[in-house]
Every structure is written in structure tokens, then in C-alpha cells.
Amino acid sequence: MQEVINSLFRYEMFILMGFLIALGSLLKLIGVIDVSSDWIWFLAGIGLVCEGIISLLKQRKFDRKYKIIERVNDET
């Protein structure tokens, strides 16, 4: 299951979302398509979710690899 999530939400998915947003915006600006801007915001939202998942997975991998040891200061 973890391998499926890693393969779906790698940087390629984030780059694809950015490309679709840029292409959709450009086509709308030059008048080729007439699309509601809500669809572009929808793609932006999906891109942000992808970015968040990538960041979360990388942070968890980092936390498992490097255990953080807290030092307790004794002020006696």
C-alpha cells in the first residue's frame, strides 16, 4: 500500500498539476477555451494536496531514519 502511495504522489504528479494549471490558464487567456476559473482553482487544490502528501511522507521517512533525542536541562 505504501508503495502505491509513493508512486502516485511523487514529484511527477506535482509537476503535472502545475503544467495543467499553466496550460489551462494560458488557453483561457488567449480565448481557445472557455472554462470556469473554478476548474483551475480545483487543479491548484489538487496540486497543494499532492505537495502536502509528498512533504508528509518525506518528513516521516526522515523522522524514522533520524531519531531526535531531547536533552533535559537540569537547573538545580
Q: What is the pLDDT of residues 19-41, one digit of tens each?
A: 888 898 899 899 998 888 888 88
CB distance 56 to 6 below 8 Å = no
Phi-psi region of 35 (alpha: psi -120 to 50; beta: other; left: phi over 0): beta
Q: pLDDT band for position 2 (50/70/90)?
A: low
Q: pLDDT band for position 18 (50/70/90)?
A: confident
Mean pLDDT of 30-55: 85
Domain positions in the chain: 2-65
